[in-house]
Structure 1
Amino acid sequence: MHAATRPALAVIAHGSRDPRHAATVDALCARVRALRPGLRVEAGYLDFDAPSVPRLLERLDAEGVRDVVALPLLLGRAFHAKSDIPAVLGETTARLPRLDVRQAGVLGPHPLLLQALERRLREAGSAPDRRHSTGVVLASAGSSDPEAIAVIAQTAREWRRTAGWCAVRPAFASASLPRTADAVRGLRADGVERVAVAPYVIAPGRLPDRIRAGALEAGADVLAPVLGASEELAAVLALRYDEAAADRRPVALSA
């Protein structure tokens, strides 16, 4: 698809009072622009940061954009992907009849996200030759959605199967159990020699800080940084955009 005819990409982020969140989103958008030269990539936020999603779509419409892929900056399909984002897109596009907006799929699960987790653990000092004696806590933000929790558990199982860690266990910063500290202690109680905590979150903020506090409290040996603007994460954004842009079937957006 020629750059001039491709839909614009609106990355839909949650937003945060922590300025590191928006800075990470900006860096990810810049990486996607580098991967897809000529593609218009903008970010909009559900809360806290500007522009809001409605303001972003209104601006694109006013500038003559007619086709937009709205891509949730989410690792899993929970409340925001199933309810919040469709609702705000549906309400806004009802007021902008010239604008065609389709919602792309969430980022995870995807093998590239496991590669990004591996990269962050290496950067934090996890030794590849000690995988057989290292257990990993896959620490996500958490959700009350059973589907989202099941996907995190499956991601942990797949990571252990493909990477060779002696254990990979999920933990959650909110809404679900166990918490990060309890997962670290559980691995220790099971005789795991070394424990690494891998935050399965995109940007810094309140919940990642809670993951960090739990890892430190329980004495984890390695604490990786968040996924951030990694090249793997940017590649998944570009792939999800490509999938949505290629699917020209009508998409119903509703609350």
Structure 2
Amino acid sequence: MIDPALLLVAHGTRNPRGVEMIASLADAVSRDVGATRVAFVDVLGPSPAEVLRDSSRPTVLVPAFLASGYHVHADVPREVADSGHPAVAVTRALGPDPVLARVLLHRLSAAGWKPGDAVVLAAAGSSDPRALGDVRRAADMLSALARVAVRVGYVATGAPRVPDVVAGLRAAGARRVFVASYLLADGLFHARLADAGADGVAAPLGVHDSIVRLVAERYRSAATALLAGGPLRG
């Protein structure tokens, strides 16, 4: 029996470095589980429906999102339905997950963070309360690892904004403040963090061996259920 294909679905960005990062992640995953295609739900194409229409092969769709908001709950199911594809298993979003929390801590340390320094988790933001809840859970996971309270700040949608959280921590007596970028790829949102007034800004999650393994694990679990005729949403 042919193994299901893997479709990695991301938001999309006009920043070429962001697009390259998603492509690099897909390439790294493909070395583990086989050919991996990429689609985007916004900004640029191809769309998930376009990719799915191009193949009749059973497919596992992995949403490369760090929180489950409108794109995960509405865009992805609509794209799958519009494609008319008969066999698609959709995994849950990448985040929040303890694996991502460990990568966040690694990125923070690489940016100069030391135990005891204040931390702001910077997320894109969303108008969907489910996504905001996911971001808070991600902050709690990072807090448990870093052993310091982690505040949440938003870059694009929602409040408080990252610079305001940084300023608030300084006003409360924090000597050094670092921003953990809860963004998958480089782009406009990450670039804005340089002006947040922090002592350091960690790199985006990016292509990391642990994230590659996380995507592969999501794929394998859903692929097993798909081949066994199990539920098509995991």
2:39 aligns with 44
1:86 aligns with 77
1:236 aligns with 214
The structure whose Rg is larger is: 1
Give the drift of 1:230.
1.6
Counterpart of 2:99 (choices 102, 105, 112) is 112
Q: TM-score, normalised by structure 1?
A: 0.84
> Structure 1 residues 195-204 or 224-233, which shifts more?
224-233
> Structure 1 residues 204-213 or 81-90, which shifts more?
204-213
Q: d(CA) in 2 for partners of 1:138 and 1:250?
A: 34
* Counterpart contact for 1:44–1:51, Cα < 8 Å: yes
Q: 1:212-249 CA distances to partner (integer Å, 9 max, x unpaired)?
A: 33x2xx2x111111111122221211121122112232
Give the drift of 1:43.
0.6
> Structure 1 residues 150-159 or 173-182, which shifts more?
150-159
Counterpart of 1:60 (choices 47, 55, 75) is 55
Structure 1 residue runs without a partner (length 5+): none
Give the drift of 1:50.
3.4
AA matched with 1:149: L
AA matched with 2:50: R
* Counterpart contact for 1:70–1:103, Cα < 8 Å: yes
SS of the residue corresponding to residue 138 of structure 1 reads strand
Give the drift of 1:113.
0.2
| Percent of pairs with identical residues | 34
Q: d(CA) in 2 for partners of 1:9 and 1:76?
A: 20
Q: d(CA) in 2 for partners of 1:250 and 1:151?
A: 24
> Structure 1 residues 195-204 or 156-165, which shifts more?
156-165
RMSD: 1.7
Give the drift of 1:49.
3.0
Q: d(CA) in 2 for partners of 1:159 and 1:48?
A: 30
* Counterpart contact for 1:106–1:240, Cα < 8 Å: no
Give the drift of 1:46.
1.8
Counterpart of 2:115 (choices 131, 147, 160) is 131
2:141 aligns with 158
* Counterpart contact for 2:122–2:154, Cα < 8 Å: yes
Q: d(CA) in 2 for partners of 1:138 and 1:10?
A: 28
Q: 1:66-92 CA distances to partner (integer Å, 9 max, x unpaired)?
A: 200011110111100000111011111
Q: d(CA) in 2 for partners of 1:171 and 1:106?
A: 21
Q: d(CA) in 1 for partners of 2:102 and 2:141?
A: 12
SS of the residue corresponding to residue 247 of structure 1 reads helix
Q: 1:56-114 CA distances to partner (integer Å, 9 max, x unpaired)?
A: 112223xxxx2000111101111000001110111112xx4xx4112111011211101
* Counterpart contact for 2:104–2:142, Cα < 8 Å: no
* Counterpart contact for 1:137–1:196, Cα < 8 Å: yes
Q: TM-score, normalised by structure 2?
A: 0.91
